């Protein structure tokens, strides 16, 4: 019984941690307009075309925004950004892709 409860607790804790390090992007400048999908902040490269703002969900995030596709070209780093706060992406150039990292990036 103890092993089952411990395993269940660890599974829930992991699920909360994964969900806490995520991001959602928007087409508007104030986290409004068309809403993108929620993506994990695990360093994976995602498309940012047509997006102009984002919000880190549940925990602080650092976001690397790129001028070109596949997270290449000129890079702009935002963050660490406070959780659940809208960030207006103003770089002076169109942003095509991004990747984000949760609060654990600094310990890597």
The band of 103, judged by pLDDT with boundaries at 50, 70 and 90, is: confident
Residue 72 falls inside a structural domain: yes
- What's the pLDDT band for 47 if we cut at 50, 70, 90? very high
Cα gap 12→61, rounded to integer Å:
21
Per-chain mean pLDDT for the chain = 84
User: CATH code at 89?
Assistant: 2.60.20.10
| Sign of torsion over alpha carbons 4, 16, 35, 100 | negative
Structural domain contains residue 108: no
Whether the predicted pLDDT of 12 surpasses 60: no
- By the 8 A CB rule, do 22 and 36 touch? no
- Average of per-residue pLDDT across 42-65: 96
Q: Considering the domain boundaries, does residue 80 fall inside one? A: yes
pTM listed for this prediction: 0.76
């Amino acid at each position: 019984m103890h092993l089952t409860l411990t395993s269940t607790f660890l599974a829930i804790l992991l699920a909360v941690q994964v969900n806490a390090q995520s991001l959602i992007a928007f087409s508007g400048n104030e986290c409004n307009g068309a809403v993108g999908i929620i993506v994990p902040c695990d360093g994976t490269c995602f498309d940012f075309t047509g997006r102009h703002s984002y919000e880190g969900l549940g925990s602080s995030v650092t976001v690397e925004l790129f001028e070109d596709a596949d997270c290449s070209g000129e890079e702009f780093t935002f963050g660490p950004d406070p959780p659940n706060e809208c960030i207006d992406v103003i770089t002076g150039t169109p942003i095509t892709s991004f990747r984000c990292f949760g609060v654990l990036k600094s310990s890597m």
